[in-house]
Amino acid sequence: MNENLATKWWTPVSLRGVVSFAWISLLITSLMCGISWMRGDDTGTSMSLMVLIANSVIVWILPEDVPARPVPEKFGLFVVCGASMSALSINYLFHRSGTDIGLTLVDYWMASPSLVVGAAAVTAAIKSSRWFMGRATTSEALEGLARTKRHTGRITQTAKQIVLLHLGIFAILPPIWTIMLSLSPGNSLSMDFSLSTATLEHYRKMWESDRFWGWLWNSIVVSVATTIFGLTVAFPAAYGFSRYRFHGRKIGLFMFLIVQMFPGALILVPYFIVMKGFGLLNTYVGLVIAYSVTALPLCVWLMKGFFDTIPRELEEAARVDGCSQLQIFTRIIFPLSLPAVAVTCLFSFLAAWNEYLLALTFLSDTDRYTLPVGLASMVSSAQAGDSYWGDFAAASILISIPVVLLFVMFQRYLVDGMVAGAVKG
Amino acid sequence: MRGRLAVSSAIALIALLLSSHAVAGAPPLVTEVSIDGDVDLNNRVRYGFQTVEGSERYNIQYSDVPFTNLSESVYNGQSQPGPQAWILVSPEPADDPESAETLKFLICWWAQLELPDSLAGDFQSNPDWREPTFQVGMPIVPPEAVSVVCDLPGIVRGQEVYIATVSVDANGEFVDEGLEVLSAVTLAESAKPPDPDMTSVYIAIGVILGSLCLTAAVLYFISPSKRERSGYLFILPAILLLATLTFYPVGYGIYLSFTDESAENYGQGEFVGLDNYETLFSDERDYDGDGDPGFWRTFTFTLVWTFGCVAMHMLLGVMFAMLLESGIIGKVAWRTILLIPWAVPGYISVIMWRGMLNRFGWVNGILTSDIDYLGLDNWAKFSVIFVNIWMGFSFMTMTTSGALAGIPKDMYEAANIDGVGRYHRFRHLTLPQLMPALVPLSLLGMIWTFNLFHVIFLMTGGGPDRFYGEPGVTDILVTFVYDVAFIDGEYGLGAAWSVVIFLMLIIFSTAYLVVTKGGEVEG
């Protein structure tokens, strides 16, 4: 084997690993800059800016291209930047501990990645100094390549898991906050949650509150009625569009397509006036009609897409065997399309369950509120003094759990359905 | 004349003077303060006082709880005390009262007479009483005014309110230290206006239903194929529903935009041509004097909001989906966690974030910063966009990861063998495969975000506010339409805004479809 070749094709895995993690610390350091600036901490901002610069050097310096060209000068840069990252992060921690606020968890979180990555960069660079100088021997290179092969997967996996961890925390922070708020005593926003004072008083209050159950009942009635009514209309329409080729079919389909582009605001004002005229404000009927029509296009498109996948031959065979149209409907089409019907039901149910704007416009009587309007009214005051944040949090948790479970169970169908709706509509 | 109030039609006029307790020892600031009740649709309290020499303005302060000094007055949970309304005294005699436009903020009259015994009278048509001029919603009375009467709107029925007038001189000092607090309770039932004539709506809906049924019948019987024609029967109910409850309201909305229909002359709107559209762009409502009644400012922020949110959704969605699909351990668990922002009901997420971003909320607590995220112009803009990104990225991640999973793996293997770099692999392999899903999704995402109401409405309510009557800093077009139509009650103007929004959406969607050549109608 050619000596040069092995050396050239090899970059020590430790350096590559350091760079992978340096990307993560780069992102966190950027946040450190932003947060220091938001705190109005000028010294901290300039320190974190310097960390950011050192970090960027480490990220960009390693030649990504293969074969790698070892450059001795880069060794120095690597060591200097790594060392300064660590030193500056420690300095930052010292600086923060000297302020009035003192060190917080956030400070540790922001400073430790660059601290660790900097130290790792120095260690890795010193260990691979021979590679930087271009003096690595073939046997070293072969050994290193083997090590690369062994460790690369684990390094990238760890890096990805760290990124996902941050992402996951970002995704569940607000729900966690809500859970903590719902468990802490008092109804104010400025909670200090601790396990020893945790209380279920808000849950109990909501559980015993007639108003909450009333809103829940309104929401259930409206959503169920919307689902049933909407499906009764959408099912035959989807079947008709899928199975029959009649004049005006394309125009009809196109109509169902463009309706989805109508802004709710355009319909809102005339809806309100017409509903007011018919005396349908503050009634279930008004809301159910409005919701069914809003959900209709998506339901029709979803189910039509599904019917298209049921072979027509099935029906023809049944017809030859002497089935009537009704029997075809009840014995063949309906059982086969149950999954699509279930997903469509779920869609229109969730749409009605979560709708806010129309409900807000149509309902002015607190006893008629649906959950979205009702819950929002609990914390509607701009100032914290008059709001029931603790009760709101407890109610939100109670409401969200079934909905989130539904989403988790049916995520495939929901995603596919939304994509289908988007691609077609 | 706009702004004609139902007060003048004397619909429901019961109110009760409950008690009047002046602070012992302190002389009353305004002599002969009298509260009389006069309540209309919006439950307003009519309130009058004699003017005081040397005042530059009168602060009117009302409160839910009794108060003996101004800092104790608390209204509607607003913890910061301060006057809720002002009446200015101009240095010069009043302008022609006819030229003034009455805003619904605070309806006010002034006269050179003493206060009448009963305040329930109709001041608008009484020759002795004149309307003041207005400046950004604040009434201005001339120095020769002897008494002023005004209606304080939005007082909750059945709830006792306490009202005081404080006279302030040119130096900002109180003219007199004394304070007389009066209380009133509005007992009137909200009067319902006469039911409007709905015949035209019935006729219109009847005509639509009839003509559609007729069309269907004709098509049914002239249809060449006996087999295919039953399709009409299947789709007819859905078409009827769509026509009466979507296309008809849209048409009605377009018609409304040419009328002066409003909450006050509900059902009696008259055709006013393009007036509403002119109002949208004219300086007539440019209260803050920046040469724009708010349309272009709102429009710009709507664009920033739409493109900012959708671009970030796409970017984050594609990035995280690639991360999810790159062979990580525990994919199902991460997927489920990342699903949560999408799964939590939207209104709950928004309110959660509003609580967290509150000045005394969790975000400031954790970051140990002190920023009023929802009260400062730029931070408020940033916050609403940020929250919407949080709410939307997970849906894009899910959909994109679904699309990514469908890309055949052997293409990547081939690319690996050929030594294609990471960037080129993404640019020439992944992206083209994702495009058919991403293009319509982004189009739909833009339409959704453009029309997204509850995020901004529940986060900031469009605030921080600029001037009364102008859109707030974070108002987008749809949230401002709501304000115009349902807070100000100007249905015609609201409908005109809606039509403009609709036109913009049509232009935008068409342009987008032409440019990307995507989203062909599948027949």
Give per-residue pLDDT as tens, B322-374.
Answer: 999 888 899 989 999 999 999 999 999 999 999 899 888 888 888 888 888 98
Looking at the fold, whether A111 and A168 belong to one and the same domain comes out as: yes
Instruction: Give me A191's structure tokens.
Output: 């909670």
A166 touches chain B (CB under 8 A): no
Q: Could you tell me if residue A357 is left (phi over 0), alpha (psi between -120 and 50 degrees) or otherwise beta?
A: alpha
Asked if the model's pLDDT at residue B237 lies above 80, the reply is: yes
Chain A neighbors of B465, CB-CB under 8 A? none
B371 touches chain A (CB under 8 A): yes
Looking at the fold, whether A233 and A140 belong to one and the same domain comes out as: no
Chain A neighbors of B80, CB-CB under 8 A? 383
**3-state helix/strand/coil string of A12-50:** CHHHHHHHHHHHHHHHHHHHHHHHHHHHCCHHHHHHHHH
Question: What's the confidence (pLDDT) of residue B288?
Answer: 65
Looking at the fold, whether A241 and A112 belong to one and the same domain comes out as: no
Question: What's the confidence (pLDDT) of residue A425?
Answer: 36
Residue B348 CA to residue A180 CA, distance in Å, equals 15
Residue B93 CA to residue A28 CA, distance in Å, equals 64
CB contact under 8 A, B78 and A424: no
Distance from CA of B233 to the nearest CA of A (A): 8
Looking at the fold, whether A130 and A179 belong to one and the same domain comes out as: yes
State mean pLDDT over B95-102. Answer: 48
Give this complex's ipTM. Answer: 0.89
Size of interface A-B (CB pairs under 8 A): 317
Interfacial A residues in 41-100 facing B (CB < 8 Å): none
Residue A112 CA to residue A29 CA, distance in Å, equals 10
Question: What's the confidence (pLDDT) of residue A415?
Answer: 78
Instruction: Give me B3's structure tokens.
Output: 């702004």
Interfacial B residues in 421-450 facing A (CB < 8 Å): 436-437, 440-441, 444, 447, 450
Residue B131 CA to residue A290 CA, distance in Å, equals 43
Of the candidates A183, A217, A250, which is a domain's last residue? A183
B313 touches chain A (CB under 8 A): no
CB contact under 8 A, A174 and B358: no
Instruction: Give me A385's structure tokens.
Output: 């003094």
| B72 DSSP 8-state letter | G
Question: What's the confidence (pLDDT) of residue B66?
Answer: 75
Residue A192 lies in a domain: no
Residue B111 CA to residue B132 CA, distance in Å, equals 10
CB contact under 8 A, B337 and A161: no
Burial of A218 (0-12, 13-18, 19+ CB in 10 A): buried
Instruction: Give me B165's structure tokens.
Output: 């007038």
A157 touches chain B (CB under 8 A): yes
Looking at the fold, whether A171 and A108 belong to one and the same domain comes out as: yes
CA count, 13 A, side-chain hemisphere, A219: 22
Q: Report how far Cα A344 is from the mean position of its chain's Cα atoms.
A: 22
Looking at the fold, whether A154 and A228 belong to one and the same domain comes out as: no
Query: Phi, psi (5° rounding) for residue B309?
Result: -65, -50
Residue A318 CA to residue A197 CA, distance in Å, equals 67
The helix-helix angle for B431-450 and B295-324 (nearest 10°) equals 140
Residue B185 CA to residue B19 CA, distance in Å, equals 10
Residue B494 CA to residue B483 CA, distance in Å, equals 8
**pLDDT in single tens digits along all 425 residues of chain A:** 445 666 667 788 888 889 889 999 999 999 999 999 998 889 999 999 999 999 998 888 775 554 556 677 788 888 999 999 999 999 999 999 988 888 888 999 999 999 999 999 999 988 888 887 777 777 888 888 888 888 888 999 999 999 999 999 999 999 999 999 888 887 777 666 777 778 888 899 888 888 889 999 999 999 999 999 999 999 989 988 888 888 888 888 888 877 777 767 678 888 888 888 788 888 899 999 989 988 888 888 888 888 888 888 888 888 888 888 778 878 888 888 888 888 888 888 988 998 888 898 888 888 888 999 988 888 865 444 457 888 889 999 999 998 999 888 888 777 777 666 554 43
Residue A190 lies in a domain: no
CB contact under 8 A, A247 and B223: yes
- CATH classification at residue A275: 1.10.3720.10
How many residues are there in chain B?
Answer: 523
Instruction: Give me B122's structure tokens.
Output: 């109709």
Q: Name the residue type at position A298.
A: L
Looking at the fold, whether A270 and A418 belong to one and the same domain comes out as: yes
Residue A401 lies in a domain: yes
- Computed on alpha carbons and rounded to an integer, the radius of gyration of chain A in Å comes to 31
Instruction: Please name the residue of chain B whose CA is at the shortest distance from the CA of residue A419.
Output: B399
CA max distance for chain A: 90
Residue B470 CA to residue B480 CA, distance in Å, equals 9
Sign of CA dihedral B427, A22, A16, B410: negative
Looking at the fold, whether A149 and A65 belong to one and the same domain comes out as: yes
Interfacial B residues in 15-54 facing A (CB < 8 Å): none
Query: Phi, psi (5° rounding) for residue B149?
Result: -125, 135
Distance from CA of A364 to the nearest CA of B (A): 12
B368 touches chain A (CB under 8 A): yes
Domains of chain B: 15-186 (no CATH), 199-284 (no CATH), 295-516 (1.10.3720.10)
Provide the 10 A C-beta neighbour count for residue B142: 18
Q: What percent of chain B is modeled with pLDDT above 70?
A: 74
Structural domains of chain A, count: 2
State mean pLDDT over B224-228. Answer: 77
End-to-end Cα, chain A, rounded Å: 60
Looking at the fold, whether A226 and A325 belong to one and the same domain comes out as: yes
- B495, B485 Cβ separation under 8 angstroms: yes
* Domain membership of residue A98 as a residue range: 3-183
Sign of CA dihedral A172, A177, A182, A188: negative
In degrees to the nearest 10, what's the CA dihedral of A144, A145, A150, A151? Answer: 70
Query: Phi, psi (5° rounding) for residue B287?
Result: -75, -30
B193 touches chain A (CB under 8 A): no
- Identify the residue with better confidence: B31 or A227: A227
B196 touches chain A (CB under 8 A): yes
Residue B107 CA to residue B7 CA, distance in Å, equals 10
Residue B356 CA to residue A172 CA, distance in Å, equals 13
Q: Which of A242-246, A357-361, B79-83, B285-289 has the lowest mean pLDDT?
A: B79-83
CB contact under 8 A, B481 and A419: no
Residue A162 lies in a domain: yes
Looking at the fold, whether A161 and A27 belong to one and the same domain comes out as: yes
State mean pLDDT over B479-483. Answer: 87
Asked if the model's pLDDT at residue B388 lies above 90, the reply is: yes
CB contact under 8 A, A240 and B233: yes
A274 touches chain B (CB under 8 A): yes
What residues form DSSP beta bridges with A413?
Answer: none
Q: Which of B83-92, B407-416, B451-460, B481-490 has the lowest mean pLDDT?
A: B83-92
CB contact under 8 A, A249 and B349: no
B351, B369, B398 ranked by CB distance to A376: nearest: B351
If we measure between CA atoms, which residue out of A326, A188, A302, A145 comes closest to residue A235? Answer: A302
- A271, A336 Cβ separation under 8 angstroms: no
Instruction: Give me B508's structure tokens.
Output: 């935008």
CA count, 13 A, side-chain hemisphere, A71: 12
B196, B223, B502 ranked by CB distance to A266: nearest: B502
Looking at the fold, whether A208 and A176 belong to one and the same domain comes out as: no
Looking at the fold, whether A270 and A152 belong to one and the same domain comes out as: no
